Structure 1
Amino acid sequence: MTTNSTPLELQPLILPAVPSWFPLAWGWWASFASVVMALLLLTAFFLWRKKRLKAKRAALKLFVKPITPHTPSSAIELLRQAALCYYPREAIASLHGEQWYQFLDLQLGETRFSDKMPLWQAALYQNKHGEHDSELVNDCLVWVEKALPPKRGMRG
């Protein structure tokens, strides 16, 4: 047995390049694009909703302000201002009396105003506080909470 101590003439090993994440397959790009699009749509929706509910939040904030108690005349004025933010000015500005109360009932879906029209007419034009004032103010608060913003088909 002879031992050969001379090394063999071999070429050095050439390793392949490390696999890279880039370029990504088209499926990853599509997933990334859909996530970005979903985030943009969600952001746009929440900004639109915030803008749409701005007048309602302002009216509710004024209703629950504990500084001064609301009178029926101030409550109905606040309600009219809130309605003007959501409905066409021509439709709201021309309404008065029974037409106004019917409009409020129609938008609310229940009769809270037409049934109490004599109470409203008495409360709006007197200086002293009546026994039904808090009930009338509460009706205005309920209208702002439930009828605003208008549902589809109720805006015109």
Structure 2
Amino acid sequence: MPTPNNNPFEQIILPTDVPSAWPPAPVYWLILIATIVVLLVITWLIKRHIKNTKIVKQALTELANLRSQKTASFSELNQLLKGLCLQYYPREAVASLNGEAWFDFIERHNATSNSPVFENKSVFCERLYAGNSQCVEKDFTSARKWLKSFPAQCKAFKKSTINNQKLTGSKHV
């Protein structure tokens, strides 16, 4: 007759098959999906930032090319500024601006609101439509400052416009 063993752990039966880790629990699927979405959003934001800085760098390069020309006209400088604006705003909103409306648009997007980008409205309009108006060094310096700060000013202007629309309850058309 076998001798009884007094070990209480002897009665515990260990499983022979280890439970599988696949498929993972639903919480892990949610974490994986959230991680992928966050990575995609970060990638999109980085690409957008690179594109925006590339646009500004190209505009600054064109400004340097205009500056190196001895006969750069004021209208060529304004074409450069308008070209940059067309990259950030719809064509319908920017392309039709001219004269005083264009001057007001430039000033609304001016980082230093206490000093205008170009002298005053009347002088700006005269120089813009005078065929022989040459750019001076102050024009290039002002345009360079304006070009560098334009993306931030554009973002701030759009944000303030959205906030104003929320306050008044009107919709953007």
Tell me which interval the TM-score lies in, with the shorter structure as reference length.
0.5 to 0.7
How far is 1:84 from its partner? 2.4
- Corresponding residue SS for 2:68: coil
Q: Which amino acid aligns with 1:59?
A: A
Counterpart contact for 1:56–1:145, Cα < 8 Å: yes
Given the alignment of the two structures, is residue 141 of structure 1 paired with residue 134 of structure 2, yes or no?
no
SS of equivalent to 2:141: helix
Query: What is the aligned partner in structure 1 of residue 17 from structure 2?
Result: 17
TM-score, structure 1 as length reference: 0.64
Deviation at 1:67, TM superposition (A): 8.7
Match of 2:4 in 1: none
Distance 1:35 1:54, change over 3 A: same
1:104, distance to aligned residue in structure 2 (A): 0.6
Give the RMSD, CA atoms, in angstroms: 3.7
State the partner residue of 1:81: 83
Higher RCO (CA < 8 A, seq sep 6+) = 1
Note the C-alpha offset of 1:105: 0.6
Which of 94, 110, 115 does residue 108 from structure 1 map onto? 110
**Sequence identity of aligned pairs in percent?**
24
Q: Which has the higher helix share?
A: 2
Alpha carbons of structure 1 residues 112 and 66: separation in structure 2 relative to 1, 3 Å:
closer
Q: Which amino acid aligns with 2:123?
A: P
What does residue 100 of structure 2 align with? 98
Paired AA for residue 118 in structure 1:
V
Q: CA deviation at 1:116?
A: 7.5
In structure 1, give the amino acid aligned to 2:146: W
SS at match of 2:109: helix
Match of 2:37 in 1: 37
Count of equivalent residues: 140
Assess if the C-alpha contact under 8 Å between 2:56 and 2:84 holds in 1. yes
Q: TM-score, normalised by structure 2?
A: 0.59
Q: CA deviation at 1:136?
A: 0.5
The aligned counterpart of 2:58 is 58
